[in-house]
Amino acid sequence: MLLKIIFISSILLGIVFLGLGIQLFFSKKKRFPQTQIGHNTEMKKRKIPCPQTQDKITQKNKKPWQSPI
């Protein structure tokens, strides 16, 4: 039973990777979509910064007497 599930899941994963490869090959952009928040154009439109940038801004604006939390 376990071997059957592993076999079916590996076949499905193979189909998914094949589909991604075909999509990438026939795509006009020839690139994977940008998934990082800092480089994603949709996130920039919504003015959502990357977590590292947001943390730097918070640390810069923090007063010395404030608690770290």
In a domain, 48, yes or no: yes
Considering its fold, how many domains does the chain have in total?
2
| Domain residue limits at 22 | 1-30
In a domain, 49, yes or no: yes
What is the 8-class DSSP label of residue 28? S
Q: Is the alpha carbon torsion for 56, 57, 58, 63 positive or negative?
A: positive
In a domain, 16, yes or no: yes
Average pLDDT over residues 10-39: 81
In a domain, 54, yes or no: yes
Contacts of residue 30, defined as CB under 8 A and 6 or more positions apart, other chains included, come to: 24
pLDDT band at 22 (very low <50, low <70, confident <90, very high): confident
pLDDT tens per residue across span 26-64? 777 666 666 777 777 888 888 887 888 888 888 888 776
d(CA 17, CA 40): 23
Q: Are residues 42 and 26 in the same domain?
A: no
3-state helix, strand, coil in the chain (%, to 5): 65, 0, 35
d(CA 67, CA 69): 5
Q: What pTM value is reported for the model?
A: 0.42
